[in-house]
A and B are shown apart, each in its own frame.
Chain A
Amino acid sequence: MLEIKDLHARCDATEILRGINLQVRAGEVHAIMGPNGSGKSTLAHVLAGREDYEVTQGEVLFNGTSLLDMEVEQRAAEGIFMAYQYPVEIPGVSNKYFLKAAMNSIRKHHKQPLIDTMDFLKVLKEKMQLLGMDKSMMERSVNEGFSGGEKKRNEILQMAMLQPKLAVLDETDSGLDIDALRIVADGVNTLRSPERAIIVVTHYQRLLDYIVPDYVHVLAEGRIVRSGDKTLALELEEKGYGFLEALSPSAAAAAV
């Protein structure tokens, strides 16, 4: 489904991604871990199409077509969804209007009929209940004044409504209390299916207890320095990133 080949990206003069290779097949769940500042969010944004980052090398294929040539909204319409580490507040735009506009924009893109308001509200109510969200959140402005945890739930709600093919969850667990973590993880798990793939960016094993990954990758200084199965996450939790030091690009370079 997703093929990332030797991806390099920079912001202004700084190179942040320095040759990422990653393959994600439909049905899989991949976890990406790694120290602060290693480029995890950057990778997520590059996949989503943020224009602040310049791809200088490499390619990304999504179901066989080049992702990098597509506009941000086109990628979303084709089924890429990123749950933000820091969701954006949009004063004055109600959550409900926003969600419906998003769903209908995607439908329009696929030349499908627009969603019926009653159907929309019904699905919305269902998903919100699933995520333990209060109805009042719908009338409020997108993320405005939401607590950290509420923002994260709101991201997952959007994902649940838009039903993407590839979801990239960037530290969705941060800011969630213990109960919320389980609720949100359940929400994500209901989306797991053979047609979908999920990339979970996290610092903690705890989330991976609920959303069990097929693969775990460690990103350091803009490269994937180690990949393994779910036991890699446990190992990291126990030993920290220190034990990977020998494998990190700069350590390797220093050793030369």
Chain B
Amino acid sequence: MKNIITIWKKELKDTIRDRRTLMAMIILPMFLMPLIIIGMGWFIEAQVEKAEEQIVQVAVENIDAAPAFMQVMDQHEKITTVDFNGNIQEAVKNDEYLAGIIIPDNFNQLIETQGKIEIVIVRNSINTDSSTAVSRIAEGVTSYNNLVLAGRFSEQGIEASILNSVVIQPEDVATEKEVGGFGLGFLLPLFIILWSVIGGQYTAVDVSAGEKERKTLESLLLTPVKRLDIVFGKFLAVSTTALISVVVALSSLYAAISIFGFGDFGAGTGVSGELNFSIDLNAVLIMFGISILLVLMFSAMQLSISIFAKSYKEAQSYIGPSYLVVILPTVLVNTLPNFKPETWFFAIPVVNAIMLFKEVLIGVYDVSHIITTIVSLLICSIIVIFIATKIYSKEGILFRD
């Protein structure tokens, strides 16, 4: 036990003195991820704002045929209409105008006879601004329709308010916590998984392949310390760095969100910047416990993989693809809409953690899910740690030239 602690302390000290590990462990999670999140939020917000503020230029063919209609259109603050003669389709295609309106010659006549009028709206669906323009035009058309109908109703002595037979009163059954948790459910699992992999990676390579490359491994094996103790000391050091980086990443994310808000990052999910969500202490404890298990599993895995390598570089090329194994299920589970996993899904390592995080974040505590996840991850970690110790007692791997 004393030897394990000696090795653990030494490896931690060693790793902290290495700029690369320090970067991966603390600096990167502290600044990079919150920056990306906030930056992304701001970017999306700016895009949405730009689209809202934009005044669209619309070309109108045959503008004199419908003065009343054009008057309504011009009242719309974010539309400017331009009289246009020529190939209107060509002009929209060339992005000279965002959209075009073609008014039929007999517009006024049809109004008077209460016939059906068809106007053509030309748009370029490749250009998103063109879509904005079309929806503005649609708004104008609706206003004009209402105006005409109101006139016709009042001619017949009917109240114009009859037009508003159905109005929408939005009401969300999801609580604020659920909405917040749902939004966070996209980010947190990814973060925890990502940093439990990245955080310990350099240390894992450094204490195994690095030690081999720098030729210190043999002198370590020459000491009376048992191989098992050596593996455990190194394993604990890797786990510690990974766990530190998970904690740093989460704290900085939490700080970033509470200071800067979510931005409109959750736009698609209905989460807005003003949301004031809080996470249960229970959820935090469960997520932390699961993170520890994940970290143990990934650390043992990385240690096993990188001891196969002869050099630092080789080890990193082995570990690189392991990101995919981790990121892929996260993205998959995140993108599946309305994914309602059955209990056996929680037996799949990594995937189970992601799904469980999502659940507890919206306040769902399913005991069978939690237990299945913990047992599955625990068994996996023990197996992987066992494999790591086996690998470290194989002389062929330690002395491969």
Co-complex (A, B): no
